[in-house]
Amino acid sequence: MRVLLVEHDESIAEPLIDGLARYGITADHVATGAAALAAAPHDLVLLGPRLPDIDGTDLCRQLRRAGTAPMIMLTGPGDDPAPGADDHLARPFSVGELVARMRTVAGRTVPAENPVHRYGPLAIDTRTRQIRLHGVPIPLAPKEYDLLVLLAADPGAIVDRRHILETVWEPDFLGPGKTLDFHVASLRRKLGDAGWIENRRGVGFRLVVPA
């Protein structure tokens, strides 16, 4: 696993990098939000709450819009959790506890070691963000892709509407009420069968893989 550590305090970052290395985890360190946004894709992001150029919560939202890597916010005393993060861990904490949280969060997403994942005739390549159905490329809009990947992270499980909006769009999403339904309808059309995505009225959606 290769992670991006976004932390301006060297006295926190250096021992954390060394501790993660003992678990076989490589951490690339940046000290500003601008550097984090410019960094190459990573398997996971560890995000400090205070940075010299941007608030950690705002950076969390921008990183969420830019990619799909899971994020853990490392909070300090008095810090509010970032609504866009996948998990939060308050200081002080042990490296072992952090690694356990990282593995749990990473387990909810498509593993980076094998970027191509198959669901019956559907293949999702998370490295190239390409979708193939029966071997034929299916062009998806960015939000359609993110929506499909979120549902595919746990096929058959219902993902509630609010969680989808906060993950694929942004926390406290205030856009048009039919935005999610529009994207689901478009995704169904491109997959050629509405049965791929089941709607539980008033609850959410789930990916149904053909038998």
Give the strand pairing for 204-207 and 159-160: antiparallel
Is the Cα dihedral 44, 46, 50, 52 positive or negative?
negative
Class of domain 116-207 as given by CATH: mainly alpha
C-alpha–C-alpha distance, residues 181 and 186, integer Å: 9
Give the residue-averaged pLDDT of 171-199.
85
Provide the residue ranges of all domains of the chain, joining segments of one domain with +: 2-107, 116-207
Inter-residue contact 37 to 13 (CB < 8 Å): no
Domain at 2-107, CATH from 3.40.50.2300, 3.40.1390.30, 3.40.50.1820, 3.40.50.1970: 3.40.50.2300
Residue 77, burial from CB neighbour count under 10 angstroms (0-12, 13-18, 19+)? exposed
pLDDT at 155: 85
Whole-number mean pLDDT of the chain?
84
The pTM score is 0.51
H/E stretch holding 136 reads: strand 136-137
